[in-house]
Amino acid sequence: MRMLQYLASASVIGTVAAAIMGSYVRGMGAGLACPDWPLCHGALIPPLELPILLEWGHRLIVLGVTLCVAAVGLLTWRKRLPARFNALQSLVLLVTQAVLGGITVIVRLNPAIVALHQGLALIFFRLARRAGAGIAAHDAPFSRSAGPGCGQVKQFVV
């Protein structure tokens, strides 16, 4: 169960890293440094130049998040945990988000598509966080020692 918690946490942290990296890529004007998708300049390993490395780095972070989210989805489903529905929704939304990222490149950073891509990232973050919180809540023993209302504070912080 601890591995599942680590994977869920890695999903959330990786999502924040991907969002930060995506914003940095956009701010540096490197959003089209990889003009094709899912490859970059027609290769798995693109030319090692700064703008390309920024965009490719963003894609690699997203790949790591995808692997973590897929593992969380599989493990929560196999263990029949209540968080499995949030985990499954996260996985479906992440695949949608990845395809939308590709469309963002194909349509040459159309502002409406970029905004949709960023908006879905926020929704994905919320779902991944909820899945992680559900896994943690399932594993934690029930305790009243912290007092009333602490569960809501913990849920907000997580």
Structure confidence by residue, pLDDT tens digits, 49-98: 999 999 999 999 999 999 999 999 999 999 999 988 989 999 999 999 98
User: In this model, does residue 42 exceed pLDDT 70?
Assistant: yes
Asked if residue 87 lies in contact with residue 57, where contact means CB atoms within 8 angstroms, the answer is no
Q: Would residue 55 show up in a list of annotated catalytic residues for this protein?
A: yes
Kindly give, in sequence order, each residue whose CB lies less than 8 Å from that of residue 23, ignoring residues fewer than 6 positions away: none
Domain that holds residue 106: 2-157
Our count of domains for the chain comes to: 1
Active-site residue, from 12, 34, 55, 72:
55
- Torsion, Cα 39 26 60 43, to 10 degrees, reads 20
**What's the pTM?**
0.82
Give me the pLDDT at residue 63, please: 95
User: In this model, does residue 145 exceed pLDDT 50?
Assistant: no
pLDDT band at 5 (very low <50, low <70, confident <90, very high): very high
pLDDT band at 37 (very low <50, low <70, confident <90, very high): confident
Identify the residue whose tokens are 């939304």: 93
